[in-house]
Amino acid sequence: MELFATVDQGGCILDLSHLNLESLNLDTVGDERRRVTQQLYLYNNRLTVFPASVCLFSKLEVLDISNNGLTVLCEDIQRLSNLKTLIAKNNRLNEFSFPNEFGSMQIDTLNFSGNMFEELPIQFLKLQRLKYLSLGGNRLKAIPPEIENITSLEMLYLGGNLIISIPPELANLRGLRYLVLCDNRIQSVPPQLTRLYSLRCLSLHNNLLTYLPREILSLVHLEELSLRGNPLVVRFIKDMTYDPPSLLELAGRTIKSRNLHYHPNDLPGNLVHYLDLASKCPNPKCTGVYFDSCVRHIKFVDFCGKYRLPFMHYLCSPECTSPCSSNPQSDAESEDERCVSADRLQRVLLG
């Protein structure tokens, strides 16, 4: 087998790619070779069964088994205690292809793009050191709320799936820097994503977005926002559908807007909790608040003096909106939203 392998001078890399291998037995590899090999490349072969003998390489840190026909990863893969990077693009793997204890491994990089996943494997959600996760080009229909458990995640690539929504729990990944959700069926972006304080790149092109939450403007480190291929509205739109507030909400609005003091001992716990849910009207000329009853209001915001993007606002009443002019400066428009400068957002990709 080594006659066909490419080996670097230090012996740390063993390259068995592009050999049209249908099976592989590495038992004959010498002990010294097994001890020093840190990177093993088996991509572009014809393997349909994961070679169990790979697990004899105790120091292995990088394993690339892409472009084969694998359907299952064997239990022995857990023996690769030093494995940091596992790349298995373009195989036939799915959410049932992994041993139960796969989540206990110390992997920080996974790339399973181009496989047959319909759900995110529960084992992935237990990988405490995972930083980079790529599952593009699969059949994922949803992002599980438990994604928040991968607290070390810095890059999440889920482009080219069938995802229709973004769970608010995704916003709990405070270290996330790159979020790629392009080429899906996403219709809206939850405002909670503004808690992704470290986010540098947000890729949402080729989805079904018609507006963005205004809160996205608070992503101060965002450098690239990709929106091309979405049915974003191309003119000013106001949706004046408005359900009158309930008596409970009217009372709550009065208490909050007039700053009436109350003590938790004065009210039932459910009412105290309700009052804590008050949202301030974004109109800087309004001192009102709202709870459940609000007016949906879509307004354009300048980006870099070049683009105008539709953002969703929630106002406390119809009186807080104003007609759009050719140069809109509505009462519901705060100073920091009139223009997002180039140093705040380096690229807005619309086409």
Give residue-wise pLDDT tens across range 251-296: 888 888 888 888 888 889 888 888 888 888 877 778 788 888 776 6
Position 222 scores a pLDDT of 87
Q: Write the DSSP string, 191-202.
A: GGGGG-TT--EE
Give the model's confidence band at 347: pLDDT under 50 very low, under 70 low, under 90 confident, else very high: low
Give residue-wise pLDDT tens across range 179-191: 999 999 999 999 8
The label of the residue with tokens 């049209």 reads 20
Position 245 scores a pLDDT of 83
Position 233 scores a pLDDT of 53
Q: Write the DSSP string, 144-209.
A: -GGGGG-TT--EEE--SS------GGGGG-TT--EEE--SS------GGGGG-TT--EEE--SS--
Q: Write the DSSP string, 50-95.
A: --GGGGG-TT--EEE--SS------GGGGG-TT--EEE--SS---T
Give the model's confidence band at 152: pLDDT under 50 very low, under 70 low, under 90 confident, else very high: very high
Position 234 scores a pLDDT of 42
Buried b (16+ CB within 10 A) or exposed e, 256-288: bbeeeeeeeeeeeeebeebbeebeebbbeebeb
- 348 phi and psi angles, rounded to 5 deg: -115, 115
Distance of CA 195 to the CA centre of its chain: 12
Checking DSSP bridges between strand 13-15 and strand 6-7, what pairing results, if any? antiparallel
Domain spans, the chain: 236-310
Position 310 scores a pLDDT of 59
Average pLDDT over residues 83-112: 97
Q: What is the dihedral of CA 80, 86, 88, 89, to 10 degrees?
A: 180
- 31 phi and psi angles, rounded to 5 deg: -60, -40
| Element (DSSP H or E) covering residue 327 | none
CA nearest to 134, candidates 155, 150, 107: 155
CA nearest to 328, candidates 212, 237, 231: 237
The larger pLDDT score, comparing residue 158 to residue 220, is at 158
In percent, the amount of the chain with pLDDT more than 70 equals 79
- Give yes or no for residue 322 having a pLDDT over 70: no
In this predicted structure, which of 4-8, 225-229, 304-308 has the lowest mean pLDDT?
Answer: 304-308
Confirm if 10 and 36 have CB atoms less than 8 A apart: yes
pTM, two decimal places: 0.72
Position 321 scores a pLDDT of 57
Q: Which two tokens stand for residue 246?
A: 């309930």
CA nearest to 12, candidates 28, 34, 42, 30: 34
Highest mean pLDDT among 297-301, 304-308, 324-328: 297-301
Give residue-wise pLDDT tens across range 128-151: 999 999 999 999 999 999 999 999
- Give yes or no for residue 11 having a pLDDT over 60: yes
